[in-house]
Structure 1
Amino acid sequence: MIKVSRLKGEDDIVVNAELIETIEETPDTVITLTSGKKLIVEESMDEIVRRVMDYRRAIYRNLR
């Protein structure tokens, strides 16, 4: 799970990183989930990718 901020100062949300299908900047950052739901967030695409990578590293580190 990764924490992101909804656009326009709404509350933060936690997204299951395993359900992210695509991330695009149009110029707002749009996360599309495997369900088809779209989330518009404040973080850049690079920041979301970094958070997903950190999340996966932490998960797999604990499996060893």
Structure 2
Amino acid sequence: MIRLTKLNKMSFVLNSDLIECFESTPDTVITLTNGKKYVVCESVDEIVEKVTKFKAGILKYANNN
């Protein structure tokens, strides 16, 4: 799960496993596997970093247990 910000500055948490793709148009648009789209304040690079950190945290946790 990653925390993102909608254009109206409302924060929400997204299941990153549902992300199909995201693009900068110039706003960042995230498309989920179910076709739902979110427009967020974060850049594509910020989202990549958030997803990478989240997945790395899962792997670290799994390796410690």
Please name the residue that 1:60 is paired with. Answer: 59
RMSD over equivalenced CA pairs, Å: 0.6
d(CA) in 2 for partners of 1:35 and 1:3?
Answer: 19
Q: TM-score, normalised by structure 1?
A: 0.95
Q: 2 CA distance for matches of 1:21 and 1:49? A: 13
Q: Larger C-alpha radius of gyration, 1 or 2?
A: 2
| Identity percentage of aligned residues | 48
- What TM-score does the superposition give when structure 2 sets the normalisation length? 0.93
Equivalent residue pairs, number = 63
Taking the aligned partners of 1:12 and 1:53, their CA distance within structure 2 comes to: 19
The question of 1:43 aligning with 2:25 is answered no
Which ranges in structure 2 are unaligned for 5 or more consecutive residues? none
